[in-house]
Amino acid sequence: MGCPARPERASAMIVRPRPGLLRLFFILRGSVLQRIFPQVVVVLALSGAVVLAHRSDPGRIPSFDGAPFALLGIALSVFLGFSNNACYDRWWEARKAWGQLIAMARDLLRQTLLLEQRGPEAAAGRRRLVDLAIAFPHALVVHLREGAATADLLRVLPAGLSQTPPGVPDRFLPDRILREMGAVLARLRSAGHLSDMEFVMLDGILGRMTEALTTCERIKSTPVPFGYTLLLHRTAYLFCFLLPFGFADVLGWGTPLAAALVAYTFFGLDALGSELEEPFGTLPNDLPIAALATGIEIILREGMGESGLPAAPEPVDFMLL
């Protein structure tokens, strides 16, 4: 909301066939190479300078034995491994929460079939529930993704909800949609269209949607502890910048290549971890939550027998937002 400068066409999640061997090295989209390019170039240049200085004046530039580097490098690998694992788990948990929303859309369609047989008021209640369920994931996108487009949300937001000015969805919108769905259920129950057991069953859908909302908020608001991130960053950077001094002796002009390769791997994993840690952004490896929201809308509209469904989101430039 606060950063409209971020381009709306930025996108998330790469969708492409697995490329062949040769092309593998020339893909830029989705690679973190673009983001860590400056750092890798710095390591490359530094390595060249160290080797050059080493050759021209061997005693001037300190050169170290490789053993301590191996030790630190292996320690760093292990810690980066665990850290990436934790970030991947967050990303996957976020995706599971959205999967739960998809399942809830299907459960809602199916469990409210009962209402169709209980008169027009009950059927209208069902329609209202589905309309609100269509709006919920779009509201969640706006809630979770900084600077997300609000066009889709405004297109589907049912009347009778917006007390805040249109175009400025407030931070309680997902809450209010769920509570409005609860109010519809309460009215249907009071009017005798639902037994208490059926009411509890339908409320269970709202409970699990609340759970998904809360999970997404937790992942967004609670990053991996900052001290942890900082320690890994610092160690990775210091390690890669010291690397040339350790390798110059034994590798000679192979040093820049080796150091750049190591830097690419370590900086790359570090950068990927950061992308996965906050899975609701629009970086290439983030989750396509806008596309998922449209997918839920399509499932709900198809289930209500609507024609003229929105087009299924297509990846642009191999990416899905």
CA atoms of 15 and 17, how far apart (whole Å):
7
Closest CA to 123 of 136, 114, 110, 111: 114
| Position 6 contacts its own copies (CB under 8 A) | no
Q: What whole-number distance in Å separates Cα of residue 315 and Cα of residue 294?
A: 13
Rule CB under 8 A: say whether 116 interacts with its own copies: yes
Q: Residue 167 phi/psi, 5° resolution?
A: 90, -15
Query: Among 54, 266, 280, 293, which residue interacts with its own copies (rule: CB under 8 A)?
Result: 266
Round to whole Å and give the CA distance between 208 and 59: 68
Task: Report the nearest approach of its own copies to the CB of residue 131 (Å).
Answer: 18
Instruction: Output phi, psi for 210, to 5 deg.
Output: -60, -40
Complex with its own copies: residue 127 or 189, whichever CB lies closer: 189
Segment near its own copies (CB under 8 A), from 45-53, 125-133, 142-150, 264-272? 264-272
Pair of tokens at residue 107: 């459960």
Taking the least distance from each CB to its own copies, the nearer of 151 and 306 is 306
Tokens 């806008």 locate to: 290
Nearest to 64 by CA among 246, 238, 239: 246
Candidate ranges 10-18, 45-53, 128-136, 138-146; the one touching its own copies (CB under 8 A): 10-18
Cβ burial, residue 282 (10 Å; 0-12/13-18/19+) = buried
Q: Is 65 in the site for its own copies (CB under 8 A)?
A: yes
Judged by CB under 8 A, does residue 5 bind its own copies?
no
Q: Which range of residues in 46-54, 119-127, 137-145, 237-245 is near its own copies by CB under 8 A?
A: 237-245
- Among 178, 289, 290, 321, which residue interacts with its own copies (rule: CB under 8 A)? 178
Of 31-39, 52-60, 128-136, 153-161, which segment contacts its own copies by CB under 8 A?
A: 31-39
Report how far apart, in Å, the C-alpha atoms of 190 and of each of 121, 130, 198, 243 are. Answer: 12, 20, 13, 72
What is the per-residue binding string for its own copies in 216-235, x denoting contact by CB under 8 A? -xx---x-xxxxx-xx-xxx
Three-class SS state of 7: coil
The residue range among 121-129, 132-140, 147-155, 203-211 that interacts with its own copies, by the rule CB under 8 A, is: 203-211
Binding residues for its own copies restricted to 127-156, rule: CB under 8 A = none
Indicate which single residue of 166, 167, 254, 310 sits in contact with its own copies (rule: CB under 8 A): 254
235 burial (CB, 10 Å; 0-12 / 13-18 / 19+) is middle
| Contacts (CB under 8 A) with its own copies, residues 293-312 | 299, 302-303
Answer yes or no whether residue 70 interacts with its own copies by CB under 8 A.
Answer: yes
CA distance 166 to 155: 11
Is residue 57 a contact residue for its own copies (CB under 8 A)? no
Q: Is 124 in the site for its own copies (CB under 8 A)?
A: no
Q: Is 238 a residue that touches its own copies (CB under 8 A)?
A: yes
Question: Any contact of residue 7 with its own copies (CB under 8 A)?
Answer: no
How far apart, in whole angstroms, are the C-alpha atoms of residue 212 and residue 93? 10
Structure tokens that stand for 166 in this block: 């249109």
Q: How far is the CB of 49 from its own copies (least distance, A)?
A: 17
Contact between 54 and 249 (Cβ < 8 Å): yes
H or E segment and range at residue 261: helix 255-277
- Answer yes or no whether residue 197 interacts with its own copies by CB under 8 A: yes
- Contacts for 19 with CB less than 8 Å, ≥ 6 apart: 27
- Judged by CB under 8 A, the residue of 47, 51, 91, 142 near its own copies is 91
Interface region with its own copies, contact rule CB under 8 A, candidates 49-57, 90-98, 134-142, 153-161: 90-98
